[in-house]
Amino acid sequence: MSRTARLMLFFLALGPFVLACCWAIAGLPRFSGPEHRYGALAADQSLSASKINNAVTAVTFDIRGFDTLAEEFILFAAITGILLLLRMKREEKQENDLDRARKGRIMFKTSGAVVFLGRHLMIIVALVGLSIALHATVSPGGGFQGGVIIASVMLIFIFVNSLHGAAEMLTRIFEIVESIGMLGYLACGVCGWFAGASFLENILPKADRGELLSGGLVPLINFSVLLAVAGGFCVLLLEFVKQELIHIRGDGQ
């Protein structure tokens, strides 16, 4: 279908779609209305049963723990797909410095200021990420947010250091970190079975509210999510950066 035909069809369909959506929006609960029965129940449950101050963490890892496991698997599957698509093919090989020089590509030398600032920034960003991730039960944050922040350390690392040679090893390491995270989450679930309870049931003794390790199983699940997300996003970033180093055999020679 040509682009013009597609646009015409789109605008034709837009009219009924807008009408249907306006009808749907009119039926939604009033904005900032008082009725949040499910939210109030969840907040209550997180305080009394899970003993967690941060209700969002309680919902994510305790009340909806099984859904979060499924979402973790979506992340895992997406990253496995990226690994599969961007792997080295038969006709590709990794470029080294000599190839680049032969093709006349300019090699930039990272300036000293960037290296100095980058090395310090890496430590600060990693610590902020860890702090946000590990204080999931007492303050806003959690494994997902902290994991992404820690993965951004990878970007600074690539910016500061030349990646030649280290890329393969780093990918291997972070693949293992991601898998440990996934297995950790599953192990937390299976623990319930061995204790005679159901899958992902919060069986560990719970500390008082406001403690770092309050919430029984939740800090463990949170930590495995941190590993899975940080590892997964590091692999994702590395795979895209490695594409820059690949060239197709026979190209330009």
Partner 1 sequence: MSFLPYMAAFYLLCIGLYGIVSSRSLIHTAFCLFILQSSTYVLLIAIGFVHHGRPPVFMPGRPALPAVDPVVQAQVLTDIIISAAVTGLLIALTLENYKRTGSINPNKRHAMKG
Residues of this chain that bind partner 1 (CB under 8 A): 2-3, 6-7, 10, 14, 18, 21, 25-26, 28-32, 34, 36, 38-40, 42-43, 46-47, 53-56, 58-60, 64, 67-68, 71, 74-75, 78-79, 81-82, 85-86, 139-140, 142, 144-145, 148, 209-210, 229, 232-233, 236, 239-240, 243, 248
CA dist 54 and 116 (Å) reads 37
Q: Please, what is the minimum distance in Å from the beta carbon of residue 131 to partner 1?
A: 15
* Conformation bin of residue 5: beta by default, left when phi > 0, alpha when psi is -120 to 50: alpha
Q: Which of 164, 144, 129 is nearest to 238 (CA)?
A: 164
Place of tokens 């293992």: 176
How far is residue 118 CA from its own chain's centroid? 22
Contact 232, 238 (CB under 8 A): no
Reduce the DSSP state of residue 93 to 3 states and report it. Answer: strand
Strand partners, 94: 246
Eight-state DSSP code of residue 57: H
Q: Please, what is the minimum distance in Å from the beta carbon of residue 245 to partner 1?
A: 14
Q: Please, what is the minimum distance in Å from the beta carbon of residue 14 to partner 1?
A: 7
Tokens of 166: 């280290």
Which of 32/253 has CB closer to partner 1? 32
- Cβ contacts of 37 within 8 Å, gap of 6 or more: none
Q: Please, what is the minimum distance in Å from the beta carbon of residue 140 to partner 1?
A: 6
Which of 157/233 has CB closer to partner 1? 233
Which of 118/227 has CB closer to partner 1? 227
Q: Please, what is the minimum distance in Å from the beta carbon of residue 196 to partner 1?
A: 28
Eight-state DSSP code of residue 236: H
Q: Please, what is the minimum distance in Å from the beta carbon of residue 73 to partner 1?
A: 10
Which of 10/193 has CB closer to partner 1? 10
| DSSP codes of every residue in 122-179 | HHHHHHHHHHHHHTTTTSS--HHHHHHHHHHHHHHHHHHS--TTHHHHHHHHHHHHHH
Reduce the DSSP state of residue 86 to 3 states and report it. Answer: coil
Which of 39/165 has CB closer to partner 1? 39
Which of 2/111 has CB closer to partner 1? 2
Q: Please, what is the minimum distance in Å from the beta carbon of residue 29 to partner 1?
A: 7
Strand partners, 248: 92
